[in-house]
Amino acid sequence: MTENTPSVLLTGGAGYIGSHTFVALAEAGYQPVILDDFSNSHPAVLERLAQLTGRRVPCEKGNVLDTAFVAEVLQRHRCVAAVHFAGVKAVGESVQQPLMYYRNNVSGLLSLLEAMAGTTACRSVVFSSSATVYGNPASVPIDEGFPCAPESPYAQSKLMCENILASLRASDPSWRTGVLRYFNPVGAHPTGLIGEDPSGIPNNLMPFVTQVAVGKRARLQVFGSDYPTPDGTGVRDYLHVSDLADGHVAAVQALLAKGESFTVNLGTGQGTSVLGVVRAFERASGRPIPFEFAPRRAGDVAQYFADVSLARGVLGWRATRGIEEMCRDSWHWQQRNPDGYRTQTSDTAMHMPAPVRNSPNGPMRPVVSA
Ligand code: UFG
């Protein structure tokens, strides 16, 4: 780390995907800078990131909707790129509270872009989009040329953001935008130090399964057993969060090196059914996962997986971790942190890399600026 190490702003960087991307960017030679209001993340993640990376964790506490604050942070850290994770992400909740979704997701991106445009020369932005923009696809695998047909306010908000980025590129070609359409991120860092920490009852399959395994919930409800899939349950493209984090590094590198904008799927290209996940998790954990079949969940599609060839061509990236590794690392995280980041971790020191001392850049501890 030198003062010439390029800084990259991570809005929402304390969250699930943001924290894993922090680690991957640090390993790739960048200085990630977190901007987060901790509305859906826990400050304890900062200490874990310091332990994992052996370096300071710059964190600016605040909301991305505060454009002046974002501009000041971008300038002070001399950021060369921004990765925009901050936003809200529950499909069902977005149907109940559409205005909150549009305000946070659309206005949040506008605020970041205005901060960049108004005050810095930084014109490279990676945007956290979602495969949900495709809606109910006519076939699988899904490639980036498929029509977008969002079916929820959440999905609409992601597509609106993609369109805002396209308008900006058209208005000024110096903007470089990388749109990443995630499939289903799961798993955790292999150390078990950082992972997904949903509040309340998990909406998503993997956190629910891990909570059943650890005894927090009695059984999984498998939504739908009569889909036109090999075992009748829904098929998704699960992607290890560490692979996803590496995809963000590749995206930042591509924008800064080549300067060409892109929109790519990030997935494995492999579909796994709900029962396939249950069986893989049972193997990884050695625990039974009791389940019962329940009616289909409103809005779910039968199967969904990515054509990943464009990401390979444009970014030179592909996922390398399979479903067994995703389940193993989810289980490791859950076991070590039964209450997520609220868990007291007297044992975590045993699993740390040795602390780095005598750094020319000062003490290795989280730096949190309010
Ligand atoms: N499922 C169950 N029981 C549960 C939870 C989920 O059977 O308790 C099933 C679902 O019906 C589906 C599969 O597990 O077949 C995956 O469901 P998730 O809720 O984990 O994920 P989704 O594919 O529904 O949605 C996720 C994200 C969205 C994102 C989408 C993009 O939650 O934000 O992937 O592919 F848009």
∠ at Cα 32 (29, 36), nearest 5°?
Answer: 165
CB-based contacts of 249, cutoff 8 Å, min separation 6: 21, 24, 25, 28, 30
Q: Cα(328)–Cα(334) distance, rounded to whole angstroms?
A: 10
Question: Best substitution site from 211, 274, 303 to test ligand 1's pocket, by max atoms within 8 Å of Cβ?
Answer: 274
Tell whether ligand 1 has an atom less than 6 A from the beta carbon of residue 216.
no
Low-confidence ranges of the chain (pLDDT < 70): 1, 344-370
Instruction: Name the residue among 278, 188, 309 with its Cα closest to residue 240.
Output: 188
Alpha-carbon gap, residue 346 to 60, rounded angstroms: 27
Q: Please indicate whether residue 300, judged by its CB atom, sits closer than 6 Å to ligand 1.
A: yes
pLDDT tens per residue, range 51-100:
999 999 999 999 999 999 999 999 999 999 999 999 999 998 999 999 99
DSSP 305-350: -B--HHHHHHH-------HHHHHHHHHHHHHH-TTGGGS--TTGGG
User: How remote is the CA of residue 207 from the centroid of ligand 1, in Å?
Assistant: 11
pLDDT for residue 363: 29
Length of the chain: 370
In order of their start, the domains of the chain are: 7-358 (3.40.50.720)
Q: For this structure, is 154 an active site residue?
A: yes
Catalytic residue among 134, 154, 304, 341: 154
Region of 262 please: left (phi>0), alpha (psi -120 to 50) or beta: beta
189 close to 48: Cβ distance less than 8 angstroms: no
Q: Give me ligand 1 centre to Cα 204, in Å.
A: 5
Ligand 1 atom showing the smallest separation from residue 158 Cα: 36
The angle formed by the CA atoms of residues 82, 83 and 84, to the nearest 5 degrees, is 110
Measured in degrees and rounded to the nearest 5, phi and psi for residue 96 equal -75, -35
Q: Is the CB of 42 under 6 A from ligand 1?
A: no
* Global confidence as pTM: 0.93
- What pLDDT score does 325 carry? 98
| Both structure tokens of 204 | 């998503």
- CA gap 360, 357 in Å, rounded: 9
Q: Which of 201, 223, 303, 307 to mutate to test the pocket of ligand 1 (most atoms within 8 A of CB)?
A: 223
Tell me the β-bridge partners of 293: 222
| R_g (Cα) of the chain, nearest Å | 20
pLDDT confidence of residue 299:
83
- The whole-number pLDDT of residue 345 equals 60
Tokens of 91: 């499909």
Write out the two tokens for 299.
């809005």
Q: Output the CA 193–ligand 1 centroid distance in Å.
A: 24
For residues 35 and 37, what is the distance between their CA atoms, to the nearest angstrom? 7
| Residue 316 structure tokens | 């030179």
Ligand 1 centroid from CA 91, angstroms: 10
CB of 204 within 6 A of ligand 1: the answer is yes
The answer to whether the peptide bond before residue 141 is cis (omega within 30 degrees of 0) is: yes
* Distance of CA 303 from the midpoint of ligand 1 (Å): 11
- Closest CA to ligand 1's atom 14: 205
What is the rounded distance in angstroms from the CA atom of residue 49 to the CA atom of residue 325?
21
* CB 208 less than 6 A from any atom of ligand 1: yes
